[in-house]
Amino acid sequence: MSQLLPYLGVALLLLVVSGLWARQIFLKGKSRIELLLPRKHRGTGGNTASHGDLGERIFSLEDWYFVSRYVPSEIQTMFLRERAALAISWLRRTRSRVSLVMRSHVAAVRQTENFRLGPELKLALSYLFFLVLCDLLIGWIWLRGPVRTRKMVGQTLRTVAWLRGAFEQLMARVDPATCNALRTSFDHRAVRD
């Protein structure tokens, strides 16, 4: 019976990749990067800062000091629970942005004639590693709470800002028209997967 395992393994592999591809085709409309044009235009300057301000405001220790000193324990628990949810949401947002960069990359590479297998494999592994780390970190925040992760939140804010810059740079190179649309959409936080 053990001699069957390689054949059944290959058959299972075919079944799994076919299923994933079918799912991708089925969800194509939903998974396509959707650009929503802004209803009203705001200045593009200072948006990174506004993201940072928002994050710092949400995850600020001042809030925690206030809550821990002046409000009852039920409110403290509620505060921590809500902040944990926000931290997780923030990480998921970061992950979705990196996924967007990666998807743009594979779309670009598909058309590239001077394709390099080695770097591409490294990139795919890095991306996979990033996703796994992201999920681990989400679990870590869920277990330990948002207050103990405040340094990480600071890093997150900076990284999101940097990611946005890198993404725009990449997109500007890949497709300037889409980049302009994306920049506007990012400014209004209307980029959806």
Q: Phi first, then psi: give them for residue 192, nearest 5 degrees.
A: -120, 150
Tell me how far, at minimum, the Cβ of 178 lies from another protein, in Å: 7
For the window 12-51, what string marks contact with another protein as x by the rule CB under 8 A?
Answer: -xxx-xx-xxx-xx--------------------------
Q: Which is nearer to another protein, 78 or 121 (CB)?
A: 121
Burial (Cβ within 10 Å: 0-12, 13-18, ≥19) of residue 149: buried
HSE (CB half, 13 Å, CA atoms) of 45?
0
Q: Which is nearer to another protein, 8 or 75 (CB)?
A: 8
Q: Phi first, then psi: give them for residue 191, nearest 5 degrees.
A: -85, 120
Q: d(Cα 131, Cα 13) in Å, to the nearest integer?
A: 22
Binder of another protein out of 119, 142, 180, 192 (CB under 8 A): 119
Q: Token digits for 84?
A: 């944990």
Q: Which is nearer to another protein, 76 or 178 (CB)?
A: 178
């395992």: which residue's tokens? 5
Binder of another protein out of 44, 53, 106, 189 (CB under 8 A): 106
Q: d(Cα 185, Cα 193) in Å, to the nearest integer?
A: 12
Q: Which is nearer to another protein, 49 or 106 (CB)?
A: 106
Binder of another protein out of 58, 86, 88, 108 (CB under 8 A): 108
Q: d(Cα 169, Cα 154) in Å, to the nearest integer?
A: 23
Q: Which residues contact 117 (CB under 8 A, 6 or more apart)?
A: none
Query: Binding segment for another protein among 38-46, 48-56, 61-69, 147-155 (CB under 8 A)?
Result: 147-155
Binding-site ranges for another protein (CB under 8 A) = 1, 4, 6-8, 10-11, 13-15, 17-18, 20-22, 24-25, 94, 98, 101-103, 105-117, 119-120, 122-124, 126-127, 129-130, 133-134, 136-137, 140, 148-149, 151-152, 155-156, 158-159, 162-163, 166-167, 169-170, 173-178
